[in-house]
Amino acid sequence: MKKILIVEDDQKIREIYAKFLISEEYSVIEASNAVDAYEILKKENIDLVLLDIKMPEINGSIMYEVLRLFHRDIKVIVSSVYPLYEQKEIISGAFDYHDKSQGIDVLLGKINNALGDG
Partner 1 sequence: MKLNSIRFKISILYIVLLGIILVIYSTFLYLSLHYTLYGELDDELRIKAQEIASTIDSYADALDRNQQSFNFAVKRAITLEGEYPDKDKIIDLEHQWLQKIDKFDLKEDYINFLNVKGNLLVKSNNLQGALPSLTLKEMAKLREGEAVFKSIKFEKRNLRIISVPFPYGDNEQYIIQIATSLKPVIHLLKIRLMHIAISIPIVLLLASFLGRLFASRILRPVLEITKTASKITYEDLSARVKAENVDEEMKYLVEAFNDMISRLEQSFKYIADFSSQVAHDLKTPLAIIRGESDVALRKKRSPEEYKRVIKVNLEEAGRMLRVIDDLLLLTKLDYRPEFFKFEQLDMIEFLWEISEQSKILAAPKEIIVNTNLPEGKMVINADRLHLRRLFFNLIDNAIKFTLREGKIDIDAKRENNKVIVSISDTGIGIAEEDMPKIFDKFFHIDRINSHAETGTGLGLSIAQSIAKIHQGIIQAKSTLGKGSVFTVTLPLV
Binding site for partner 1 (CB under 8 A): 9-13, 16-17, 19-20, 23, 32, 54, 56, 81-82, 100-105
Q: How far is the CB of 14 from partner 1 (least distance, A)?
A: 10
Nearer to partner 1, 20 or 38 (CB): 20
Tell which residue, 7, 21, 10, 15, has the closest CA to residue 110.
21
Sort 31 into a burial class: Cβ within 10 Å, 0-12 / 13-18 / 19+. buried
Nearer to partner 1, 70 or 83 (CB): 83
